[in-house]
Amino acid sequence: MFVCMCYGITDKQIKKAVETHGVGNTRELRKIMTLGSQCGKCIESAQQIIDNTIMDETLFRDVG
Ligand code: FES
């Protein structure tokens, strides 16, 4: 699913950035990939995906 239409960034790319680079917010994300600097509509959804991914990782760690 595309999160940032302006730069063609998908939710998978964002998840991967969280998992491999430990990205915790959109500011850090923007150091790795370009998004949000065009219309800015994607920033909120990008942050939500970051939060959900971090939460999933935490749950996974608790189980494992
Ligand atoms: S959708 Fe990301 S900057 Fe426009």
Provide the number of structural domains found in the chain: 1
Query: Measured at the alpha carbon of residue 37, what is the angle toward residues 20 and 8, in degrees to the nearest 5?
Result: 60
Q: Cα separation of 57 and 20, whole Å?
A: 12
Q: Please give the biggest Cα pair distance in the chain.
A: 40
> How much is the pLDDT for 52?
97
Spans of the chain below 50 pLDDT: none
The pLDDT value given to residue 64: 54
DSSP string, the chain: -EEETTTTEEHHHHHHHHHHH---SHHHHHHHS--SSSS-TTHHHHHHHHHHHHHHHHHHHHH-
Mutate to test the pocket of ligand 1, among 39, 44, 45, 48 (most ligand atoms within 8 A of CB): 39
Q: Which domain holds residue 52?
A: 2-63
